[in-house]
Amino acid sequence: MGKRKLTRKELVEHIRKTMPTDFNEIEKLAFIENEIAKQISFDEQYLWGDRETKEKIYKLAKTEAQKPKKEIKRKLICITMSELYGYIAKEFGFEVLYQKRAPGVEDKTGDNDIFKKVSPKKQEHVCPIVKLSNGEYIEIDIQSDLYRLQTHSKPKAFGLSQVAIQNGVKTSTVDNNTIEKTFKKIYQLDENERFTDEYIMVFAAMLRCQHKTPIEMLEFFMNDPKIREALQNARCIEANKLYKKILSVCYDESNENQFFKARDKAIIEECILSDDKGQKRYSFCIYAKNEEQREFYVYSKCSRRMVNLTQEQVKQITQQAKDIKLRGRSSELKNQMIEFINGDGENIQPLRQEETTVSLDDIFLDEER
């Protein structure tokens, strides 16, 4: 498809030309979702921005969902993703409704005017529900599955029945076996080939049997060819979510950002680079340590992978930038970073798999919006 942004009609035509003619309706819906995922990413300014930024982006997305532009933006949020999916699905003859929900609020379903009704202050989550030939609807939450689609992991939010039954809408659920077969076909995986998330689970178990520490397991996945290949299809937010999955497996934790196991510790945080005009660019980093080893990784938007930095490289990057901030849910991370940058007398250096150089532009590449 190339790097040029497509128009909505161009994407529809591309799907028409590439979708196998013998696909059933579930496979068609999955194919559409996967092709959209190749073109977009979740907007990190929305996810990692402050409240004012979130409201501004949500309000703009609400307007764009009601009056879509011809060209598809690279960075979207749930509203614009849902509208785009609905538009394309309708081009292939499907009936599409939309639902919204907010924390503590009952789902509202079966409403084509939903884009007018969502609130930038409440920032309700929106996703499409698509009518099947049996008259029932399934939910297709492309935002929730975006990182899984881009990294060839098994979708968890496709074909669910999480909607409230309102306005006569009957919901259905696509069974697990059908989802597995469908997406292996979409990803062009062999029957016995594992999804990326399954691959992570299997190899993590093997590494545990070899008595590897969590930090050694993390190091394995950082340099694993299959993970690096998966990351080439992902963008910043989606890569961040894959690494949270990897960390949760290595450290056997489900915590959102901090991972602890005995003496081993790892923290993942967003990095925010601000310029003189107040413009912000985003990436993320991982700091992991135990008594024998410490590692600092930063995500390079340029190469779409994690780069392992030495103390000196971290110093150089922080000296280049006037203002790099961590989002700061954990004050401990900042203390650990300072310790890593300045050293603490132990003189422990990261184990090197390869010599790399990295710059601010590598990390905080301005991705097209």
Which residue bears the tokens 């030309």? 17
Q: Among 223-227, 280-284, 327-331, name the most confident range.
A: 223-227
Higher pLDDT pick, 249 / 293: 249
| pLDDT tens-digit series, residues 299-321 | 999 889 898 888 778 777 777 76
Q: Which residues of 182-213 are buried (b: 16+ CB within 10 A; e: fewer)?
A: bbbebbeeeeeebbbbebbeebbeebeeeebb
What are the residues whose beta carbons fall under 8 Å from the beta carbon of 137, sequence distance 6 or more? 97, 129, 130, 131, 163, 169, 170, 171, 172
| CA geometry: angle 85, 90, 96, nearest 5 deg | 70
Q: Within 13 Å of residue 320, how many CA atoms lie on the same side as its CB?
A: 14
- Mean pLDDT computed over every residue of the chain: 84
Which residue bears the tokens 């907007």? 43
Token code pair at residue 157: 């939010």
What DSSP assignment string belongs to 163-216?
S---TT--B----HHHHHHHHHHHHT--TTPPPHHHHHHHHHHHHHHTT--HHH
Confidence band, pLDDT 50/70/90 cuts, at residue 352: very low
Report the pLDDT value the prediction gives residue 343, as an integer from 0 to 100.
55
Please give the model's pTM, rounded to 2 decimal places: 0.89
Going from N- to C-terminal start, the domains of the chain cover: 8-187, 196-363
Confidence band, pLDDT 50/70/90 cuts, at residue 110: low
Q: Which run of H or E residues covers position 288?
A: strand 280-289
| Distance, CA of 82 to CA of 142 (rounded, Å) | 7
Report the pLDDT value the prediction gives residue 340, as an integer from 0 to 100.
63
Higher pLDDT pick, 166 / 298: 298
Report the pLDDT value the prediction gives residue 113, as an integer from 0 to 100.
77
The residues pairing with 76 across neighbouring beta strands, listed in sequence order, are 42
| pLDDT tens-digit series, residues 156-210 | 999 876 555 555 566 778 899 999 999 999 999 998 899 999 999 999 999 999 9
8-187: which CATH architecture?
Answer: Roll (3.10)
Flag whether pLDDT at 3 surpasses 50.
yes
Identity of the amino acid at 35: E
Flag whether pLDDT at 111 surpasses 70.
no
| Distance, CA of 303 to CA of 130 (rounded, Å) | 37
Confidence band, pLDDT 50/70/90 cuts, at residue 354: very low
Among the listed residues 29, 11, 30, the one whose alpha carbon sits nearest the alpha carbon of residue 68: 11
3-class DSSP state of 300: strand
Neighbours of 48 (CB within 10 A): 21
**Percent of the chain predicted with pLDDT > 90:** 51
